[in-house]
């Protein structure tokens, strides 16, 4: 029968020559013949043995356990092949199921399209969008605006709507408890939620930079621009002052 060199067997079985040498060293797969020039030659029995080794490896058996199994005098090649066949069929079914799940997940994600530029600034005219972007660049810089827009554009429509609704709900809650001291525990817990929400709009959530100066500055902006603290269609200057104080306290006590 044809004999294979280590290189020939390597090409045939898809294992490296180095691996075959290692298998020889630990007694897992000895060559049929070792020539005077010290070349390893493998025959039919070695091919079958290597097949078994590779099957067991595919089933995550450690090499020591494989050596013990195939060196067992009662080792039955036919039964082993039948066992491998059943195991591989089960593995094939598992992989097919996983591939099906991945395909469905990808399809679901593709259907949930990311928000567009128009949706990002929904409710604003082009003139207002231009003005807001210009103001943001002047106050925080172009990089901050780009970071914010890049983060928000990665969200699905549902995620973006949920983020906006969360901010509205936080504002309403803060408005309801604005009769309390800005540094009270209840107010500060809600301000912490507001801070985390704002960081998502800024696209900086999860970064080490606490942005305590930016957050304090946002509180001052709420006082200067009534557009940011309109509740139920009405400007709330007293609420803006309360909110700014609460945010400043949070920034100084938690972020600085």
pLDDT tens digit string along 150-208? 888 888 888 888 999 999 999 999 999 999 999 999 999 999 999 999 999 998 988 88
Q: Are 150 and 213 in contact (CB under 8 A)?
A: no
Provide the pLDDT for residue 233: 83
Give the residues of the chain that fall short of pLDDT 50: none
Q: Could you tell me the end-to-end alpha-carbon distance of the chain, in angstroms, rounded to an integer?
A: 79
Q: For residue 105, what pLDDT is reported?
A: 67
Question: Can you give the pTM of this predicted structure?
Answer: 0.54
Sign of CA dihedral 148, 150, 153, 156: negative
**Exposure string for 242-253, b = 16+ CB within 10 A, e = fewer:** bbbbbbbbbbee
Question: Minimal CA–CA distance to 221: which of 100, 103, 142, 136?
Answer: 136
Note the CATH number of domain 4-109. 1.10.1660.10
> How big is the chain by its Cα radius of gyration, in Å?
34
Residues of the chain with CATH 1.10.1660.10: 4-109
Q: What three-state secondary structure class fits 207?
A: coil
Question: Can you name the residues that pair with 156 across neighbouring β-strands?
Answer: 114
Per-residue pLDDT at 205: 86
Q: What is the DSSP letter of 18?
A: H
Q: What is the pLDDT of residue 25?
A: 92
Q: Say how many C-beta atoms besides its own lie within 10 A of residue 51's C-beta.
A: 15
Judge whether 145 and 165 are in contact, CB under 8 Å: no
């Amino acid at each position: 029968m044809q004999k294979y060199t280590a290189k020939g067997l390597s090409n045939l079985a898809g294992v490296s020559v180095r691996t075959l040498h290692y298998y020889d060293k630990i007694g897992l797969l000895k060559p049929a013949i070792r020539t005077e020039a010290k070349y390893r030659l493998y025959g039919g029995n070695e091919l079958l043995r290597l097949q078994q080794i590779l099957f067991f490896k595919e089933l995550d058996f450690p090499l020591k356990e494989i050596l013990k199994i195939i060196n067992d005098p009662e080792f039955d090649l036919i039964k082993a092949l039948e066992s491998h066949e059943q195991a591989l069929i089960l593995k094939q079914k598992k992989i097919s199921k996983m591939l099906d799940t991945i395909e469905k997940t990808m399809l679901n994600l593709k259907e949930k399209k990311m928000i567009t530029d128009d949706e990002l600034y929904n409710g604003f005219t082009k003139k207002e969008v231009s003005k807001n972007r210009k103001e943001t660049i002047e106050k925080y810089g172009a990089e901050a605006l780009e970071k914010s827009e890049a983060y928000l554009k990665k969200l699905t429509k549902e995620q973006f709507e949920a983020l906006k609704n969360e901010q509205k709900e936080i504002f309403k809650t803060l408005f309801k408890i604005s009769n309390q001291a800005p540094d009270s525990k209840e107010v500060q817990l809600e301000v912490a939620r507001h801070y985390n929400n704002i960081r998502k709009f800024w696209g900086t959530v999860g970064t080490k930079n606490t942005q305590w100066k930016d957050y304090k500055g946002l509180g001052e902006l709420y006082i200067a621009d009534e557009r940011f603290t309109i509740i139920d269609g009405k400007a709330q200057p007293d609420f803006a002052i309360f909110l700014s104080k609460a945010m400043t306290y949070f920034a100084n006590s938690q972020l600085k």
